Structure 1
């Protein structure tokens, strides 16, 4: 997976839907989504964001994501399935990429529905499982299994970043990628920070 072949679709990262997420703790999910968005920005991957019922219940795109993607204007829709909304689907198609990376709330519907539709339309789809939130752990897991069975590939946000970077000697993206991992990559990020400050070449 190369960044120049990909488009990122963020679906319904909104507080009103986040309230319903019980598949895993919400704060790490949002942090992972922010790390994924930063990764897209660092590697110049086009981003499409879509929201639903923003003015009725769900609220706007989460501020933490909007701050990372200030130029991205979320596309409001009515359908649960992004692929059934002409403006949102057209925005994805306009990127002219055949590899679709997708993350969002809720895994059971607003993530899985467009994944299944995009697969039917010939996209190679990557679902970033640790940035998706479901109504229950079982519902989230079953939705992931259904998407995988249909042909989607399950990945984590850091796997996306590392596959984009591929080699830490790629200097043009090194600093941005390293900073994302140090801030969001747990023990691995701690190790990168340690190596940068404590280990000096002889």
Structure 2
């Protein structure tokens, strides 16, 4: 059996989906420490803005117990449409959300959300069925426990969803450090503080 085709992320064909990163739902995340998880989400948002990719935000029942979208996402992407779903659990069941994805014209979907097994998995599987390429960002999506996450990841992989962390997504979108050494380095310096040692040791360009 031949290996599957390597579908590489292309910054010109990507759409970021931030699904239900809401105040109360983020409080349910237990597979990451709170500070670590928020850092990962902010890093993913930063990737989106750094590569100038479009994004769609959505919340579920944000007037109720789930709460509003966290500021780290909404404030950093003020121009991205925010679809406030009145009740649909699967975001793809919301006509406005589904239409925005279709109208974007992008075929590669980078998705993250809370909870992983619901807010990420349900729309990801629906989009796979429609022929999109799905890339789920594992460390900017959270759930109750590691065993829950592992079971969910197996389900996603079985349906053809690629699993990446934000660092892998960053490298694949960047392709070559020389495209913007200073900008890409600053992104790493901001969200991977230990990498600043590498940057400090980099010879100056002449």
TM-score (norm 2): 0.90
Structure 1 residues 201 and 3, CA, compared in 2 at 3 Å: closer, same or farther?
Answer: closer
Query: SS at the partner of 2:15?
Result: strand
Higher normalized helix content (fraction of residues): 1
Name the CA distance, whole Å, in 2 between partners of 1:92 and 1:177.
27
Shift of 1:152: 0.3
Query: SS at the partner of 1:55?
Result: coil
Residue 190 (str. 1) matches residue 196 (str. 2): yes
Name the CA distance, whole Å, in 1 between partners of 2:184 and 2:56.
21
Name the CA distance, whole Å, in 2 between partners of 1:49 and 1:27.
21
User: What's the counterpart of residue 117 of structure 1?
Assistant: 126
Please give the per-residue CA displacement for 1:68-120, whole angstroms capped at 9, x wherever unaligned. 21222421112111111101111111111111110010011111101111111
User: What's the counterpart of residue 51 of structure 1?
Assistant: 59
Shift of 1:192: 4.1
Unaligned runs of 5+ in 2: 1-8
Map 1:64-143 to 2 at 5 A. 64-77=72-85, 78-143=87-152
Q: Give the alignment's Cα RMSD to 1 decimal.
A: 1.5
Unaligned runs of 5+ in 1: none
4+ aligned runs moved over 4 Å, structure 1:
none
Name the CA distance, whole Å, in 1 between partners of 2:54 and 2:183.
17
Query: SS at the partner of 2:16?
Result: strand
Please give the per-residue CA displacement for 1:145-166, whole angstroms capped at 9, x wherever unaligned. 1001110000010111111111
Kept in 1, the 8 Å contact 2:31–2:143? The answer is: yes
TM-score (norm 1): 0.92
Name the CA distance, whole Å, in 1 between partners of 2:90 and 2:145.
20
